[in-house]
Structure formats: structure tokens, C-alpha cells
Amino acid sequence: MGILESINPAASELFSYESVEVIGNNISMLMPERRRWPVGRENDRGRGAAALRLP
């Protein structure tokens, strides 16, 4: 869960990554370090990544 399978050109430009750099990696690599969750913890409370809310 949370593994990037594709990235569109706009997101690639926004995050300054080529698609080959992100595909196969966890989506948390696109988040600022202070907002990242430890790998495997996104379902700790029985909720999926969709429940993640950023202020």
C-alpha cells in the first residue's frame, strides 16, 4: 500500500522527480520529512491512506 505506480507530468515537475525515480517507491517520498509516517503505519488505526489529512 502506498507504492507509486505512475506519476503524471505535472506532479513530476511539481516534485522535481523523473518518473523512473518515483515509480516503485512509497508515496511518502513526496511528502516533507516532518509529514511522513513510518513505513507500515498508515493502517495502524484501521484507516487507509485516504484518511490522511494535512493541515
Full residue range of the structural domain in which residue 18 is found: 1-32
Q: Is the pLDDT assigned to residue 50 strictly greater than 80?
A: no
Instruction: Find out whether 2 and 42 touch, Cβ atoms under 8 Å.
Output: yes
Report the predicted TM-score, pTM, of the whole model to 2 decimal places. Answer: 0.56
Structural domain includes residue 53: no
Show Cβ contacts of residue 40 under 8 Å, excluding neighbours closer than 6 positions.
none
**Assigned domain for 20 exists:** yes
Please say if the pLDDT value at position 32 is more than 60. yes
Does residue 27 fall inside a structural domain?
yes
* 25, part of any domain: yes
| Domain annotation covers residue 23 | yes
Q: What is the DSSP string of 1-55?
A: --B-----HHHHHHHT--HHHHTTSBGGGGS-GGG---TT-TTTTS--GGG----
How many structural domains is the chain composed of? 1
Residue 6 included in any domain: yes
Q: Is the pLDDT of residue 40 over 70?
A: no
54 inside domain: no
Is the residue at 46 inside a domain? Answer: no
